[in-house]
């Protein structure tokens, strides 16, 4: 049986010695049952940056009438550097520039196939219409 307290209305003494507590214990490490997420190492992904720059150049060049086809070279370079940048940084976690360059390279390649046709046709038809209007037809 437990003993009842001497005085149930007595306040505890804040200066009384506290019982010893267990020291803080570190949590157990994660199990090795699954792959660990990639940890950034602080390295800069140069191939990803080159892919991003080439993709931006490819999209910009694709809008030039009759010369947009030349944007395919930087678009293909962006796709190549993007794939290489993703593969090189696969386990390091610094893949965002390479993925962005890869996407811009693919979009730039599609733009280089389609936009020169439309911008060239727009340029030619604009010249034809202005020529017809100058003749008074």
Q: Out of 20-29, 39-48, 115-124, which region has the weakest mean confidence (pLDDT)?
A: 20-29
Structure-block tokens of residue 97: 């520039």
Task: Give 60-91 pLDDT, tens digit per residue.
Answer: 998 887 788 899 999 999 999 999 999 988 77
DSSP type of residue 36: P
Give the pLDDT band (50/70/90) at residue 120.
confident
Residue 54 has a CB neighbour count (10 Å cut-off) of 25
């Amino acid at each position: 049986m437990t003993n009842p307290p001497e005085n149930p209305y007595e306040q505890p003494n804040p200066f009384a010695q506290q019982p010893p507590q267990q020291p803080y214990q570190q949590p157990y490490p994660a199990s090795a049952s699954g792959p660990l997420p990639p940890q950034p190492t602080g390295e800069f992904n140069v191939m990803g940056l080159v892919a991003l720059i080439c993709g931006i150049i490819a999209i910009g060049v694709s809008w030039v009438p009759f010369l947009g086809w030349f944007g395919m070279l930087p678009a293909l370079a962006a796709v190549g550097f993007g794939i290489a940048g993703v593969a090189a940084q696969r386990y390091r976690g610094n893949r965002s520039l390479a993925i962005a360059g890869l996407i811009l390279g693919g979009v730039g390649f599609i733009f280089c196939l389609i936009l020169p046709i439309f911008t060239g046709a727009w340029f030619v038809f604009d010249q034809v219409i202005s020529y017809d209007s100058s003749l008074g037809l």
